[in-house]
C-alpha cells in the first residue's frame, strides 16, 4: 500500500508540483493550504508523513505543530524559505523530524521523505525489547514505557533513545547519532541532536535539568547511563 503524504503549503503551484512528482514516486498525496485545513486532513486521512510549510496565512506551520502534537505523531518535514538557524531549531523543538530549505530539488526532497519514513518504520529483528533501569523500549511496537507509564516520542526521539539504550555506557558523538539516524547523505547539522535530546529528556527524565538516563559527555556527545545491566529479549 502506498504511503500517504500530506502536503501543507499556501502556494497552489508548489502543492501541484509536489503532488505530481511524489505521485510519480509512488506516494499517495493529500493537500492542504494552511494549518487549519491540515488539522482537518490529518484527522480524516491519517497520513504517514507531513510536508509542512512554515509561513502560511490563517494558521502557520508553528501553530499547526503545536496543535498536532496533542493528537498525532506522523513524522514532519518542514519547508522553510528562511535561513535563520533559530527558525529551524524552533521547528525541531515543536516535533519536526527534518527540514529542507527553499529552493530545493525534488530529488533531495524525495530522498529525505524516504529517509524519514524508513526511520519511522524501522523494525529491527535483533534486540526487539530493550530494558535499562526503569525504561522499557519495544522496537517492533515502537513503544516506550518509563516507570510503568507509556511515553509518546517522535520517530527521531525514539530512534535516538533506542541507539543509546542498545549500548548503555557508550558515548556517541552528535555526528555519529546524525549518521545513524539519517545516513551519510545528511547535511551535518549537529545541533539537531541537541534539540531532540532536550525534548527526549523532557519526556523521560524525572528532572530534565539533572538527567538520570541520558547523560551529556562533555566534548563528545551523549550516552545512556549504565545504571543497571540491560536485558535484551528477542
Residue 124 · residue 159 · CB < 8 Å: no
- Cell (9 digits) for 187: 547535511
Rounded to two decimals, what is the model's pTM?
A: 0.61
Note the pLDDT of residue 129.
Answer: 85
Quick one: 158 and 209 in the same domain? Answer: yes
Positive or negative, the CA dihedral 25, 157, 154, 8 is negative
Mean pLDDT for each 10-residue chunk of the chain (234 residues)?
A: 90 93 94 93 91 87 86 84 72 83 89 86 60 87 92 92 88 84 55 90 94 91 69 35
Quick one: 172 and 206 in the same domain? Answer: yes
Cα-based angle 108, 65, 190 (whole degrees, multiple of 5):
50
User: How many alpha carbons lie under 13 Å from residue 160 in its C-beta half-sphere?
Assistant: 31
Q: How far apart are CA 135 and CA 189, in angstroms?
A: 28
Q: What is the DSSP string of 35-91?
A: HHHHHHHHHHH--SEEEEES--SSS-HHHHHHHHTTT----EEEEES---HHHHHHH
Quick one: 198 and 166 in the same domain? Answer: yes
Domain harbouring 216, CATH code: 1.10.10.10
Quick one: 106 and 209 in the same domain? Answer: no
Note the pLDDT of residue 190.
Answer: 66
Quick one: 111 and 133 in the same domain? Answer: no
Domain harbouring 78, CATH code: 3.40.50.2300
Secondary structure of residue 173 in the 3-state scheme:
strand
Domain count, the chain: 2
Query: 62-90 burial string, b = 16+ CB within 10 Å, else e?
Result: bbbbebbeeeeebbbbbbbeeeeeebbbb
Domain around 102? 4-121
Note the pLDDT of residue 123.
Answer: 40
Beta bridge partners of 224: 214
Quick one: 30 and 82 in the same domain? Answer: yes
Residue 174 · residue 219 · CB < 8 Å: no
What pairing do the DSSP bridges indicate for beta strands 4-8 and 49-53?
A: parallel
Amino acid at each position: 500500500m502506498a504511503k500517504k503524504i500530506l502536503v501543507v503549503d499556501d502556494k497552489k503551484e508548489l502543492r501541484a508540483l509536489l503532488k505530481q512528482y511524489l505521485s510519480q514516486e509512488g506516494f499517495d498525496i493529500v493537500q492542504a493550504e494552511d494549518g487549519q485545513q491540515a488539522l482537518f486532513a490529518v484527522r480524516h486521512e491519517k497520513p504517514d508523513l507531513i510536508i509542512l510549510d512554515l509561513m502560511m496565512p490563517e494558521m502557520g506551520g508553528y501553530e499547526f505543530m503545536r496543535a498536532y502534537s496533542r493528537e498525532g505523531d506522523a513524522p514532519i518535514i518542514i519547508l522553510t524559505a528562511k535561513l535563520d538557524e533559530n527558525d529551524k531549531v524552533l521547528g525541531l523543538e515543536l516535533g519536526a523530524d527534518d527540514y529542507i530549505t527553499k529552493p530545493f530539488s525534488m530529488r533531495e526532497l524525495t530522498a529525505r521523505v524516504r529517509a524519514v519514513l524508513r526511520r519511522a518504520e524501522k523494525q529491527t529483528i535483533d534486540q526487539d525489547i530493550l530494558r535499562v533501569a526503569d525504561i522499557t523500549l519495544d522496537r517492533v511496537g515502537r513503544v516506550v514505557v518509563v516507570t510503568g507509564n507509556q511515553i509518546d516520542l517522535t520517530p527521531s526521539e525514539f530512534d535516538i533513545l533506542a541507539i543509546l539504550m542498545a549500548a548503555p555506557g557508550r558515548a556517541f558523538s552528535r555526528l555519529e547519532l546524525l549518521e545513524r539516524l539519517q545516513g551519510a547523505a545528511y547535511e551535518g547539522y549537529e545541533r539537531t541532536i541537541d534539540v531532540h535530546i532536550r525534548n527526549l529528556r523532557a519526556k523521560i527524565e524525572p528532572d530534565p535539568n539533572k538527567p538520570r538516563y541520558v547523560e551529556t559527555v562533555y566534548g563528545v556527545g551523549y550516552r545512556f547511563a549504565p545504571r543497571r545491566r540491560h536485558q535484551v529479549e528477542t
